[in-house]
Structure 1
């Protein structure tokens, strides 16, 4: 709800800070005192269009700050918007707007600069404004279906419909995609068969290119390798090679080892290990010589294989190792062509079954909505009668759409329609009802839907225009009812019957000083409130009869 509203340099308001409370809050005052300035200021903070004419004469800029308490409601729509924009989400939300004399505007949310569009989105979740010429929230047909579902407790059913919708659309998408792939595969079937046959003949093996390339390098330098290996082998095992030298050294030392008192043992052990290592190296060199194939035909075969693999990879725009996966994919597409009839039939059957399940759930939801619409229409009609609109008719239209209109919310188009004259066809609220009628329709609807709306603060601007007596009292009673259902209701009124119903009362007045006129807002205590309602009853001169009538209207509310 709205906690505080701080206004600086807006039209006739120089500095003003108001603290609001839950329940029905009424604002009264003479015509032209500045009540509309308060609403314009609040609208500015909520993202309404900024007009440089709102800046107080002689000032550089106007500013409005509105602080809201979200009441710890984790499901409040404002939190989702804040998270989406990566802004800090706290139980207190502060919206601030500045407007310069040349029309430039800046917006802030919790002191973070934002765009006016975001400010407006947040504002729509916080406040609904209903007046003779402007109204939000219930006028938007896009939310009528959700309001009806909330009123009837159908959210669980609509959730099941949404899940059935997603399952159907997922299967339908798979069917369409499979049909497109099959059609594309049929168009290139001849190419696929030829390519698979070529790859089958080539029979590529993953990792083969690396092995062939290494083998090719060895064969290209075979003669030099064999020459070097042979020379090294001679150094190890030839007539004057290391093996013979080590063996001779071991024999010589072995003959005198006993006479050395063990001092030659480590040397003999080291020479023995070295001899073993050299012998192993010589055997490895012999094996390498045997492995290096000097046959030129073998090199030709390896190069032919390597070049064939690389040519195939270039042809198919892939790597040599990718040929294996490419062949598998082509084979899969050929299988799809061969099995396309069975696959598409299976997917079509599954999609049809999912569609039927969706329609069954959607039609059940539609029937529940139709029944709930009749109940809601009767409830609204009961509220309209005391508002002197007993001849008006409110209708909740639940119409099933064509398949193009189906969606996760079901198959229904829901709209709130009204007819203000007997025999006239019902139509949209904004086009059928006049200013006063529209405001009273909104009031009746809000009373019926009070427990399902998400916006905690309602503003009614002169909803009682053109009525008085019992009708004005009925309006006040319903506004008070809304204020008693956990909502905050702000009402700008000229009706004493409405003002007397308020839990909190502010008076908007003009004050002139030193040639300057300012608007001020004063919260009224019991005595001042009695005088204000008496003034509203009698006019400029407050009579004893007016005071008595005011006391009668206020009754125990002054105690």
Structure 2
């Protein structure tokens, strides 16, 4: 339940800090006093869109904060999932709005996204404003009422998951059909392109090897001359470097005994000589390999021309990429050949999913049908005492194409008169009748939904007298059933039934117009109800009527 509301610098409110009570409370005040401002502030806490124009003129920031007691409700999972400290006895929601348009949201002093704030807010407070009566014209609202009464969340979730899988498979099947049509139309061209690459007998790294061999064959005489010259300089019998180094080694070895310091140099020189001999041998082997072969060069150039042509044709830069294209074409051909089998498998899967989804939809229909009969009986019992004695209320379920919420089309049918045919409630009910229907629906489903706080914004529109009192009794009953119910009202019959009474006032000051809210004492409450009864001039008779009304209601 909402324990405390703090508002600072929000539109006409300088600062407001007020506590709220359990059970059924009422808020009164003249039109334009600022009741809608307070509702707007609460809506911001619940995640509605912010506007920097909502900041009080001349201020840079507004703050709205609320304290909730959630100790009687199961909210721990939300806080665990969002890594927020859970303080059930004092859960704090805060929203800050700056004049630069930036908005920040906090839950228990932890910064959170607006979506997280909205998710929690929807589970904490339901603000029923007059425009919500339009929901009666929406089929999804009526279906949601049935689902709440049926308490079928697990079954609805199971159905929705099955339906989503079915639609996903259906989409895959249609995509595969379209793909196969395109691929079969292009099959001859695809096969031609595949065989064109296949004839080249490509292998990874082939292009680099051919290009290197082509370079060697094209420059064979130049290469052989350079190798011969280098090998000759190393291995010439008389003046070659290898022979000369051998002589140098022998010279050093001859003085090792008398000059030991040269031993290390001699060993190094001897090692270098061995390395040079190996190099000379390797150069000689290279010369044996180099042999100009015009036929081989022609064959290499033919293969390279084929590779270059294929690369240009397929817009790639290497043999490896050509091999990737070849594999893609092979896969397309395989898909064409096995396409019918794949289609049949996917169609079988889709048929099985359709059967399962229909079974789950039928189970939902059965549960909703039972809930519909309950709603019909409950609504008749609730609406008759509210001044509609001849009410007829029916819930019709008709089949529809399966969608994410099932295969049921729902319509609430209504008639306030014996001889008038029933029609959709949103089309035939008057404003006062719609208010009573919505209150009855909210009262009926409030026990099913674990919503801590419900705020009714002038739910009493279009009613008065005893009917208003009976509506107040319904709200009082809801407030006594572990719900905090707050009603914004202009009717004394409703105001008198609240366990707590708050008043919203507007005052003009030298600094501008200000709106404030306060809880009324017993005497102030009598005066407020007297004013609601008689208008601006409060007479003694009006005061006595207010006392009598409060006393009578307290005895109920």
Q: CA deviation at 1:124?
A: 7.3
Partner of 1:149 in structure 2?
A: 147
Q: CA RMSD in A?
A: 4.4
Shift in CA distance, 360/27, structure 1 to aligned 2, threshold 3 Å: same
Whether 2:325 is the aligned partner of 1:326: answer yes
Is contact 1:391-1:420 (8 Å) kept?
Answer: yes
Partner of 1:4 in structure 2?
A: 5
CA distance in 1, matches of 2:277, 2:154: 85
Secondary structure of the residue that 1:205 maps to in structure 2?
coil
CA distance in 1, matches of 2:416, 2:445: 21
Partner of 1:309 in structure 2?
A: 307
Alignment of 1:91-490 (within 5 A): 92-94=92-94, 108-110=103-105, 128-130=126-128, 135=133, 140-239=138-237, 240-257=239-256, 259-260=257-258, 262-319=260-317, 320-402=319-401, 406-453=402-449, 456-461=453-458, 463=460, 465-469=462-466, 471-490=467-486
Is contact 1:436-1:466 (8 Å) kept?
Answer: yes
Q: CA deviation at 1:22?
A: 4.4
Shift in CA distance, 166/291, structure 1 to aligned 2, threshold 3 Å: farther
Shift in CA distance, 475/109, structure 1 to aligned 2, threshold 3 Å: farther
Q: CA deviation at 1:486?
A: 4.3
- After superposition, give the CA deviation of every residue in 1:166-193 in whole Å (9 maximum; x if it has no partner): 2222322222222222211211122122
Secondary structure of the residue that 1:449 maps to in structure 2?
helix
Structure 1: stretches of 5+ with no match in the other structure:
84-89, 100-104
CA distance in 2, matches of 1:161, 1:270: 86
Shift in CA distance, 7/385, structure 1 to aligned 2, threshold 3 Å: farther
Secondary structure of the residue that 2:172 maps to in structure 1?
helix
Shift in CA distance, 389/5, structure 1 to aligned 2, threshold 3 Å: farther
CA distance in 1, matches of 2:174, 2:159: 22
Match of 1:523 among 515, 519, 524: 519
- After superposition, give the CA deviation of every residue in 1:2-24 in whole Å (9 maximum; x if it has no partner): 6426486968x887654444432
Shift in CA distance, 75/442, structure 1 to aligned 2, threshold 3 Å: farther
CA distance in 2, matches of 1:9, 1:352: 58
Length-normalised TM-score, structure 2? 0.80
CA distance in 1, matches of 2:98, 2:386: 40
Shift in CA distance, 153/297, structure 1 to aligned 2, threshold 3 Å: same
Shift in CA distance, 416/67, structure 1 to aligned 2, threshold 3 Å: farther
Partner of 2:110 in structure 1?
A: none
CA distance in 2, matches of 1:55, 1:237: 97
Is contact 2:33-2:506 (8 Å) kept?
Answer: no
Moved more, 380-389 or 59-68: 59-68
Partner of 2:109 in structure 1?
A: none
CA distance in 1, matches of 2:98, 2:513: 22
Partner of 2:500 in structure 1?
A: 504
- After superposition, give the CA deviation of every residue in 1:10-66 in whole Å (9 maximum; x if it has no partner): 68x88765444443221235xxx3366412553477479999x9999xx78999865
Is contact 1:417-1:427 (8 Å) kept?
Answer: yes
Q: CA deviation at 1:237?
A: 0.8
Q: CA deviation at 1:474?
A: 2.4
Shift in CA distance, 17/434, structure 1 to aligned 2, threshold 3 Å: farther
Is contact 1:109-1:119 (8 Å) kept?
Answer: no
What number of residue pairs does the alignment pair up?
530
Q: CA deviation at 1:428?
A: 4.1
Shift in CA distance, 249/518, structure 1 to aligned 2, threshold 3 Å: closer
Structure 2: stretches of 5+ with no match in the other structure:
85-89, 107-113
CA distance in 1, matches of 2:251, 2:60: 112
Q: CA deviation at 1:505?
A: 0.4
CA distance in 1, matches of 2:515, 2:170: 64
Moved more, 63-72 or 174-183: 63-72
Is contact 2:136-2:425 (8 Å) kept?
Answer: no
Length-normalised TM-score, structure 1? 0.79
CA distance in 2, matches of 1:55, 1:352: 58
Is contact 2:400-2:409 (8 Å) kept?
Answer: yes
Match of 1:39 among 24, 27, 36: 36
Is contact 1:534-1:550 (8 Å) kept?
Answer: no
Shift in CA distance, 359/208, structure 1 to aligned 2, threshold 3 Å: same
Whether 2:26 is the aligned partner of 1:26: answer yes
Q: CA deviation at 1:233?
A: 0.8
Shift in CA distance, 384/442, structure 1 to aligned 2, threshold 3 Å: same
Q: CA deviation at 1:443?
A: 0.9
Secondary structure of the residue that 1:501 maps to in structure 2?
coil
